[in-house]
Structure 1
Amino acid sequence: MNKYYSYFITLVLSVLLTLTICADECIKISDCACSTAKNGEVDLAGLAGEQGYLEADNDPKYKFRFYPCEIKQDWNDKCTIQDGPALCQYLFSSKETFNLGKVETMRVESHSGLVTVFNYTQGTPDEKGNRTSEIELVCNPNVTETVFEFVEERPIIHYKFRLTSNRVCPGLIDLGCQRIDSCTCQADYNKGFVSVHGLLNSLKKEWIEFEDNEAFYSLLPCPIKANSTAYKYCDDITGGPAACMKASDLERLTLGLQSKMRFVVTQKEPFTTAVVYYGGTSILNTERKATLVLRCDEDVSIAKVEYLGRNPLLNYNFRITSKDMCPHW
């Protein structure tokens, strides 16, 4: 009797857990992101790196490219930047290229726990209709490399893909470097701390300020006083800005908040951590965000701070290279 009762309780708990996870619908907030009420955002921004796409070549007949947010390159006039493809197919035999669906048509097909499916339509026409595609985004917090693969074409002219990565995990989950505070984490791999505190102490500053041809910037990864002049480039200090800018037209913008952030180890050698700050000033109901890359280099005693540009449009990328960014006890 106890055995059957135990089975019954296990079954009930499993059903309740499944219902809890499945109930957290992921609502589209941009062409490459959706947001859940409980688990946070699934955001593909920056997933493809500097080249702007991911490539799958696990099928002997085809090669595929996935452009998560912005299209930087193209193969030929059948899969052009103007078409805004999310996925492109290249046929080795005929050397033809086909658009398998436009970025702007992205629809969240489903979301359950750590698996999200995006669907794309309006691809290159065929006698059976327009090509379409779907990509299964599998969150795996324990991997550091992204794997993109072609699964099958079923039904005809509908293409299925799978992408496994720690960068498609929903929410503000720390990956590979567990948060201590807004500017310090403990690295899983090197068993030490990565912190901006040491750099700021060596600079004898509470924040980092610099400029480029586009604007003036301030990086505020650590908590500072509410009346500090560090906020002079921010439009609002609610939530504790982590990055701000003043554009050439004198407009002030908050690019991300200390209260909405996560650490992600992106590379083990040289050890590199990315701090992603969400919740920046919105435009057209889409929030700005900032990514601060902390790159370890034992040979760099004077920190090098760089603005790397925007990819996609509302994601501002910065990098600090210094020996102070190396894990230490």
Structure 2
Amino acid sequence: MSTTAETQQLCDQFRSDFTKLRDEIGKVIVGNEDIIRGTLICLIGGGHVLLEGVPGLGKTMLVRTLADALHLKFNRVQFTPDLMPADLLGTNVVLETPDKQKKFEFQQGPIFTNVLLADEINRATPKTQSALLEAMQEHTVTIAGQTYKLPEPFFVLATQNPLEMEGTYPLPEAQLDRFFSKLIVKFPDLSELETILDRTTEARTPRAEPVLVGERILAMSQLARQIPIADDVRRYGISLILATHPDHHAAPDVTRRYVRYGSSPRGAQALILAAKILAILDGRYHVARDDIKAVALNVLRHRIILNFEGQAEGVQTDTVVQGILKSVAG
């Protein structure tokens, strides 16, 4: 990608649209700038987002507001232990034709949308969770041997509560790996709480207005993929991924001691794509090592599986990623 006047104009428009979308969401969502930024980076990267935080921090509101600002079709599914795959994907129903014949017709489920909010995703059984796998990776749904395309763009934004363990089913590794990033939603500080109360206890409740369409998000995604990355910077990203594997010769002590399985190649793809988007937002036309470092936590924290010792000692995967970042030259 040469830094021509046209390229500069495209990147300037990219930053302008990103800022417009972020600011529109900010009219409703108080604070959480890093979460909003991280979510938008995932969407532009074509990935899905897992939001983790205690109840009441606005995770669901963030997803609703994002759908409002993007002028996209939005569906919300409350995941519960009795939710079945057909409740999510849809099912074939028997209908009677005018000439009294019987025929099967597919009735689409809520997954046929642009933005799917999977609320409390870890409360559904593994059978229902697995129904999302094909949709998240292939953007298709297969029912009774027939494959149906999902609308584009298609994003899954899932929430989960880290505290409530009773009646929950931890997401399997294959499911976690399909999330571009895992974002930790923190409790607001004093000034943010004051602003939340001002907005939510008055007569008028703010609401986001549509500022971008889905086609624009797809175009921004294509532009991000054209940003060049030097071989040594790409190798730095690869080195970070390899350092998450305890059996690799370059793995640091923190990995060998606490990690059972490291990141998949999907982690490397997400790392590079997110870094390219950061480069554009920073006004550059190439990826730097700092871009990769900046997105490493969000991209890798859910792709590292701790061993027994790590779990017994209460080690956080964030601690492992930070140790890897310190140990890998860059």
TM-score class normalised by the smaller sequence? under 0.3
TM-score between both structures, scaled by the size of structure 1:
0.26
Q: When you count strand as a share of all residues, which structure comes out higher?
A: 1
Higher relative contact order (CA 8 A, sep 6+): 2
**TM-score normalized with structure 2 length:** 0.26
